[in-house]
DNA sequence: ATGAAAGCGCTAACAA
DNA sequence: TTGTTAGCGCTTTCAT
């Protein structure tokens, strides 16, 4: 049995390959009758065109590359959901790559993309990433890169983000008005401006309430659970221990609960908690976790839609703009929600 | 500026394209000196070979397709993690597709794979899937399909699964020995044998403890949250209401907590719960959730490793076997853990 | 050890 | 409306 290609159809129907090709792609040059015949035979033989031959010829892969730090994370998995929904609708395929928060991985992935494997890239940077130099190669090769969530200001492209500064500000203010005198900021070591923006929002709230900020207010975690656990444990046993925490990373909120359980610290009486988090289970934690819930699905779908738009329009220049989709503070029982008089 | 291809290198170095090609792929036919020159120039010019040209010629895409029902789910995202780790190690790329539990989506995706877009497939079937007829096309085109978690027995291939029957049996027994007289099974409507196996395990435990089984013991959910909520609400208000639930689907455990909260049902006093779940937050729910925790990462990585092995060996026939990686029952406070005397 | 040439399956000028 | 032809960029015999 021969390989089933466009040639097979051509021979069978006594038509040229180009006619078949055009018919399959519903070209206006081809008569309705011919199209029908071609489609019928294709259907009958169960023909499907080789996408790589097509990609090679058209220099378009109809594929987008998604690069994220991790996937076991409500935010990122919801973002993937959003990305997939528009990819599917627009006929794009989604290649997924995880950096595991490692810059070298990120570099290698983006380097690979210079081969033309993907038409465009959706990137959320690793926590180790400090600048955008490793992106310039891609930009130079005209592969559009759109950032989401963890972005870099110095790259001229669309960045789809949430209002990190305001969210952190609002969340911190919520802690303070709920009685916290010494709110801390729990985060990861990173130069990501998503982190610095949140810190700035946090600081602004402190300032407004005349609470002195010191660097020790910021608890910097790594990717090592044991290390983080000991770090926080120590912090919660220190003399100047926090009475409130704004947690900047979803996965770290579990850490806080663990430490509180082990030290018998009562939430929210001894410690109030707000976390950036998209956990479905936030309402059912003990106690229910007050969250800054990010519009993860929308961030993903808007980023993907913007990318596809850039890909489809020829000569479309990606504007250098921030698309900001706000987060929402959902108050639950891990904070006291009392109003200072 | 010309396009940067293998030809560019050839011209620059006064060598033939075939020499360049071989040198880049470290062929033994090429002298060390030449290899060095080629590699150096490639590096200098920042050349990267077009993967689609290569795929077309070699009839290999170095790409695997992963088809899963959803991604916002600890089990599946952990499985992706496992898949990605071996893909990366073996130099494979991962295309992700979501069926959203819809059979037509699943069919369309698998149909597309007949084009040769992927070298092999990792599939976890949608809940609507009732048989494997839609897979036969792929098999016929020699695209290996390996199942994980949600599998079909009638396909002759490797299936990487957990011990659903035993796990459900053990979990149900745990409910009963903890005092449940009327444990129910919460699940989705589906012909998936993952579900029937769990039901069988559940039934066996009932039987062993002389608890009569009736069909009303099985609560069948859909993908509609509202519907499920009302269903469970009603159930929990009925005269023969359950005093224990084995929840077969991670995402439904939140539903139970919600209903209990709204009806003021105390867990575990009024209702004990065990859920198949890989939630990181299980320990911190109120109360902590007793789980059947599945080896999701391992299931993903073993499935991927098996697929890659099949892809790399020529004439390798995929055996028709089940690879079973056991789950573990983690007892927490949503069950009473008392021992019947 | 290197090169010439054919061709993977498709698309797009251009011709007819 | 249909056909001819020349590639897309790479790999692979088969010569040399």
Separation of alpha carbons A72 and B279, rounded Å? 10
Alpha-carbon B126 to chain mean position: 10
Report if CB A40 to strand C is under 7 Å.
no
Domains with residue ranges and CATH for chain A: 6-49 (no CATH), 59-162+296-325 (3.40.50.2300), 164-293 (3.40.50.2300)
Q: What angle do CA B255, B258, B264 make, to 5 degrees?
A: 135
Both structure tokens of A226:
């044991």
Cβ contact, residue pair B73, A78, below 8 Å: no
In a 10 Å sphere around its CB, with 0-12 CB exposed, 13-18 middle and 19+ buried, how is residue B122 labelled?
buried
DSSP output for B275-310? EE---TTGGGBSSPPEEEE--HHHHHHHHHHHHHHH
Q: Which two tokens stand for residue A288?
A: 């229910």
CB B46 within 8 A of CB B102: no
pLDDT greater than 90 at residue A130: no
Closest among B107, B250, B249 to B189, alpha carbons compared? B249
Nearest-CB residue to A72 (from B55, B74, B257): B74
Asked if residue A188 lies in contact with residue A221, where contact means CB atoms within 8 angstroms, the answer is yes
Record: contact A51-B137, CB cut-off 8 A: no
From chain B, pick out residues whose CB is under 8 angstroms from the CB of A80. Answer: 71, 96
Residue A30 gets which letter from DSSP?
A: S
With CA atoms as reference, report the closest residue to A149 among A197, A201, A220, A185.
A197
**B 262-291: CB under 8 A from A:** 279-281, 283-288
Kindly state whether B133 is in contact with chain A, defined as any CB-CB distance less than 8 angstroms.
no
Per residue in A144-199, pLDDT (tens digit) is: 999 999 999 889 999 999 999 999 999 999 999 999 999 999 999 999 999 999 99
What is the C-alpha separation between B112 and B105, in angstroms, rounded? 11
> Chain-wide mean pLDDT for chain A?
95
Return the axis-axis angle of helices A6-13 and A32-45, rounded to nearest 10°.
120
* B164 touches B185 (CB < 8 A): no
Please give the order of strands across the beta sheet that includes B218-221.
B218-221, B183-188, B244-247, B272-276, B290-293, B328-330
Q: For residue B16, which nucleotide's C1' is closest to its Cα?
A: C3
From B61, B80, B286, residue closest to A285, measured CB to CB: B286
Å between CA of B19 and C1' of C6: 16
Specify the pLDDT at position B341.
47
* Other Cβ atoms within 10 Å of A318 Cβ, number: 17
What is each CA distance from A116 to B8, B62, B174, in whole angstroms?
Answer: 17, 15, 55
DSSP SS3 for A155? coil
Size of interface A-B (CB pairs under 8 A): 129
Distance between CA atoms of A121 and A124, rounded to whole angstroms?
10
Q: In 3D, which of B165, B174, B170 has the Cα closest to residue B268?
A: B174
Q: State the Cα angle at A188 between A255 and A95, rounded to 5°.
A: 100
Which segments of B141-279 does DSSP mark as H helices, in order?
164-177, 193-208, 225-237, 250-263
**What was the pLDDT predicted at B285?**
96
CB of A6 within 7 Å of some strand C atom: yes
Provide the H-helix boundaries in A46-118: 51-58, 74-90, 103-113
Cis before A287 (ω within 30)? yes
CB proximity under 8 Å: B 196-255 to A: 251, 254
CA of A21 to C1' of C9 (A): 11
- C-beta atoms of B72 and A78 within 8 A: yes
Taking the C-alpha atoms of residue A165 and residue A196, their distance in angstroms, rounded to an integer, is 8
Burial class (CB in 10 A: 0-12, 13-18, 19+), A150: buried
> What is the average per-residue pLDDT within A215-240?
95
| pTM of structure | 0.96
What share of chain A in percent tops pLDDT 70?
Answer: 99
Look up residue B246 and give its DSSP letter.
E
Closest-CA residue of chain B to A55: B52
pLDDT of A341 higher than 50: no
Rounding to the nearest 10 degrees, give the CA dihedral for residues B89, B93, B296, B98.
170
pLDDT per residue rounded down to tens, chain B (341 residues): 568 999 999 999 999 999 999 999 999 999 999 999 999 999 999 999 999 999 999 999 999 999 999 999 999 999 999 999 999 999 999 999 999 999 999 999 999 999 999 999 999 999 999 888 999 999 999 999 999 999 998 899 999 999 999 999 999 999 999 999 999 999 999 999 999 999 999 999 999 999 999 999 999 999 899 999 999 999 999 999 999 999 999 999 999 999 999 999 999 999 999 999 999 999 999 999 999 999 999 999 999 999 999 999 877 789 999 999 999 999 999 999 876 54
Phi-psi region of A224 (alpha: psi -120 to 50; beta: other; left: phi over 0): beta
Residue A68: helix, strand or coil by DSSP? strand
List, for residues A296-340, the tens digit of each pLDDT value: 999 999 999 999 999 998 777 899 999 999 999 999 999 998 765
Q: Do A184 and A174 contact (CB within 8 A), yes or no?
A: no
| Amino acid A17 CA to nucleotide C8 C1' distance, rounded Å | 15
Å between B341 CA and nearest CA of chain A: 32
B316: how many CB neighbours lie within 10 A of its CB? Answer: 11
Yes or no: say if A291 and A175 are a contact pair by the CB < 8 Å rule.
Answer: no
Provide the 8-state DSSP code for A270.
Answer: T
Is the predicted pLDDT of residue A27 greater than 50, yes or no? yes
Q: How far is the CA of B66 from the C1' of D5 (A)?
A: 39
Cβ proximity of B324 and B147 under 8 Å: no
Cis peptide before B287 (omega within 30 of 0): yes
**How distant is C1' of D4 from CA of B50, in Å?**
28
Q: Is B258 close to A73, i.e. CB distance below 8 A?
A: no
Give phi and psi for A99, each to the nearest 5: -90, -15
Task: Search chain B and give the residue with CA nearest A77.
Answer: B72
CA B97 to C1' C11, in angstroms, rounded, equals 27
Strand partners, B147: B123, B159
Q: What pLDDT score was predicted for residue B157?
A: 95
B28 touches strand C (CB under 7 A): yes
pLDDT confidence tier of residue A281, bands split at 50, 70 and 90? very high
Q: How many CA atoms lie within 13 A of B120 on its CB side?
A: 23
Residue whose pair of structure tokens reads 């009486």 in the numeric block: A269
Q: Which nucleotide is nearest to B13 (CA to C1')?
A: C2
Q: Which among A88, A93, A114 is the nearest to B48, CB-wise?
A: A114
């Amino acid at each position: 049995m021969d390989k089933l290609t466009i040639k097979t159809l051509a021979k069978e129907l006594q038509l040229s390959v180009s006619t078949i090709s055009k018919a399959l792609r519903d070209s206006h040059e081809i008569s309705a009758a011919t199209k029908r015949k071609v489609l019928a035979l294709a259907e009958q033989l169960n023909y499907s065109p080789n996408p790589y031959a097509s990609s090679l010829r058209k220099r378009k892969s109809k594929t987008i590359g998604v690069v994220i730090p991790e996937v076991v994370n409500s935010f990122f998995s919801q973002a993937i959901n959003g990305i997939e929904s528009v990819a599917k609708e627009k006929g794009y395929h989604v290649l997924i790559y995880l950096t595991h928060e490692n810059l070298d991985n990120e570099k290698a992935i983006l380097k690979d993309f210079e081969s033309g494997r993907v038409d465009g890239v959706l990137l959320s940077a690793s926590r180790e990433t400090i600048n955008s130099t490793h992106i310039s190669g891609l930009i130079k090769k005209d592969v559009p890169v759109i950032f989401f969530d963890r972005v870099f200001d110095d790259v001229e492209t669309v960045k789809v983000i949430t209002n990190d500064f305001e969210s952190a500000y609002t969340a911190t203010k919520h802690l303070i008005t709920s009685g916290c005198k010494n709110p801390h900021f729990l985060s990861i070591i990173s130069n990501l401006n998503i982190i610095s923006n949140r810190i700035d929002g946090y600081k602004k709230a402190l300032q407004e309430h005349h609470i002195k900020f010191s660097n020790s207010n910021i608890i910097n975690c790594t990717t090592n659970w044991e290390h983080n656990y000991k770090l926080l444990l120590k912090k919660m046993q220190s003399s100047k221990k926090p009475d409130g925490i704004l947690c900047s990373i979803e996965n770290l909120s579990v850490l806080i609960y663990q430490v509180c359980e082990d030290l018998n610290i009562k939430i929210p009486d001894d410690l109030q908690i707000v976390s950036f988090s998209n956990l479905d289970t936030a309402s059912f934690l003990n106690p229910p976790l007050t969250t800054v819930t990010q519009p993860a699905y929308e961030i993903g779908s808007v980023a993907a839609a913007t990318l596809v738009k850039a890909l489809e329009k020829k000569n479309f220049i990606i504007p250098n703009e921030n698309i900001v989709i706000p987060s929402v503070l959902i108050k639950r029982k891990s904070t006291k929600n009392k109003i200072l008089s």
